[in-house]
Amino acid sequence: MTSEIVINASREESRVALIEGGQVVELYIERKKGHKSCREYL
């Protein structure tokens, strides 16, 4: 099974996804204003 990390970053928000076998298994979101993070297992 292959694993891949995909990162999308801008001034206001950063998103990181862990992809295994072609499916997102974890997702992290961080926002500049009002710091929030999300961890999901799909």
Give the contacts of 28 (CB within 8 A, at least 6 positions apart).
14, 15, 16, 17, 37, 38, 39
Tell me: the pLDDT tens digits for 1-42? 899 999 999 988 889 999 999 999 999 988 876 655 555 555
Question: Are the C-beta atoms of residues 20 and 35 closer than 8 Å to each other?
Answer: no
Domain boundaries in the chain? 1-42
How would you write 1-42 as a 3-class SS string?
CCEEEEEEECCCEEEEEEEECCEEEEEEEEECCCCCCCCCCC
Beta pairing, strands 3-9 & 13-20:
antiparallel
What was the pLDDT predicted at 19?
Answer: 96
Determine the pLDDT at residue 5: 97
